Amino acid sequence: MSVRTRFAPSPTGFMHIGNLRTALYAYLFARHYGGEFILRIEDTDEKRYVPGAVELIYRTLEASGFRIDEGPLNGGKYGPYVQSERKAIYAEYARKLIELGGAYYCFCDKERLESLTDENGNRKYDKHCLRLSPEEVRRKLEAGEEYVIRQNIPEHGMTEYEDMVYGRIAVDCADLEDNILIKSDGMPTYNFANVIDDHLMGITHVMRGAEYLSSTPKYNLIYAAFGWEPPKYVHLPAIMKDAQHKLSKRYGDANFEDFIAKGYLPEAIINYIALLGWSPKSDLEKMDMATLTELFGVEGISKSGSIFDEPKMRWLNGLYVKELPAEKFAEFAEPWYAKSVVADKYDHSKWNALLQSRIDIFSEIPEKVAFIEDFGEYDLALYDHKKLKADASVGYTAIKYALEALEPLETFDEESISAAFAAKAEEKGMKKGQLLWSVRVAVTGYAVTPGGAVEMADILGKEETLRRLNFSKELIEKKGNVQNS
């Protein structure tokens, strides 16, 4: 049997991490077994439809590295792959299900349905319309009375199935309700459409959230009524915001595009969410799509929920950032320079060399480079360094030596700057570390920067470096009571 899995999102907004994980596991499972991955858009809930959401689904899957075998964009032999375009198919199978006794017309109005509510606020349909005679049903239909089609669930007995993660699941039919399969507008509910589509599209394995564990028996009753074999089920544990709360699309938690906007790489997001509920047999954590495909298996899926840990994803993203080819890093970094103080200043390629090993996500860039323009009077205590035995007076001397070293340079790059500093320190009998420490503070006003004195001078250029060194020299003379000599 060839494996066929599907991802069937509703276009109701952004791509929640939980939805993307479902898509990922279905994709990895299909690819691991050499099968096919199908995209189906479940857009029958018109009230919740969000304009642009379908395009967002396509965009997210493409950015995440999914290769779709069949779907709305590339077609396939089981189309259409958009549920709103399959209305006639659902109507045909609903009529067949009524003939088979698995469903019935319901003409109850809103007032009657509300009267079924008990003292605890619970409501369960009482099969009233199931007891209508065929003649009454025909008369109502001919009169144009509004109706829905409900599933006819047995009133007694157990319905059960075997889930590939949670094992045997059994539900008492008495606890199930005759849910609506076809709404009054002729559109199907999820309860019906997913069964018809999964069967007609040859889906062999269905992956979805564990919240569907108890409702899956209802779907299997529809399969049984038609005489169809149900697919294998793989229910997935919840992704938790914390120990008590699930991540919620309703409250805007964990949006894929928001993470992209924060400067995460799609590959790192995919890698991280693969680990939210699944783990390989090894301790491997950084895995590209090819490695995930090779290692993925249902046996690695946990039954318990996983807490979404953004710091962990940030760390993982940092591994990907550090391994990017230089040209790709530059491509991702450039939009963030545009939002920073160095937007149209300095050589960004020099910043790239400094920052690639020092950031985890690209949105750190504006903060990492902000210091370069934040230059003015600063605390002279920054010159203090116990190990180097440096202070403002040592800094003052170092600045003078640095000026002597840099002013004659015709070529001003890291190599020439470094050589000039080394030669001057040796000539003057000063520790090279003291000179470099002092120059870094003198040209930035900070003790910690992405690069050292040589890199900072190279980025600033000769004119600005000399200006800042002279500024700091005068600052020490003014604040540190050090006299020029």
Residue 11: its pLDDT value, please?
92
What pLDDT does residue 252 have? 53
pLDDT category at 15 given cuts 50, 70, 90 is: confident
Amino acid identity of residue 192, one-letter, is F
Provide the pLDDT for residue 479. 87
**Residue 219 in this model has a pLDDT that exceeds 60:** yes
Six-digit token string for 426: 């040796």
Q: What percent of the chain has pLDDT over 70?
A: 98
Whether 428 is catalytic: no
Q: What is the pTM of this model?
A: 0.90
Alpha-carbon distances of 73 from 61, 198, 263, 336, 416, rounded to whole Å: 12, 19, 28, 32, 57
Residues facing 413 on adjacent strands: none
Over residues 104-125, the pLDDT tens digits come to 999 999 999 999 888 888 889 9
Helix (H, G, I), strand (E, B) or coil at 234: strand
Mean pLDDT of the chain: 94
Which of 87, 127, 249, 368 is flagged as catalytic? 249
DSSP for residue 386: T
Contact 369, 375 (CB under 8 A): no
Q: What is the pLDDT of residues 298-353, one digit of tens each?
A: 999 999 999 999 999 999 999 999 999 999 999 999 999 999 999 999 999 999 99
Rounded to an integer, what distance in angstroms lies between the CA atom of residue 21 and that of residue 153? 32
With CA atoms as reference, report the closest residue to 431 among 385, 469, 470: 385
User: 103 - beta bridge partners?
Assistant: 151
pLDDT at 484 over 70: no
List pLDDT tens digits, range 154-209.
999 999 999 999 999 999 999 999 999 999 999 999 999 999 999 999 999 999 99
Q: Angle formed by the axes of helices 190-200 and 87-99, to 10°?
A: 100
Sequence-ordered list of residues with C-beta below 8 angstroms from that of 478, at least 6 positions apart, any chain: none
pLDDT at 478 over 80: yes
CB atoms within 10 A of CB 242: 9
Which amino acid is present at 318?
A: G
pLDDT at 229: 97
Question: How many other CB atoms are there within 10 angstroms of residue 207's CB atom?
Answer: 28
- Nearest 5 degrees, angle CA 190-CA 198-CA 102? 65
pLDDT reading at 250 higher than 80: no
Of 275, 313, 312, 311, residue with least CA distance to 296: 275
How does DSSP assign 6-71, residue by residue?
EE----SSS-BHHHHHHHHHHHHHHHHTT-EEEE-B----GGG--TTHHHHHHHHHHHHT---SBB
Decide if 170 contacts 160 (C-beta within 8 A). yes
Q: Nearest CA to 105 among 49, 158, 145?
A: 145
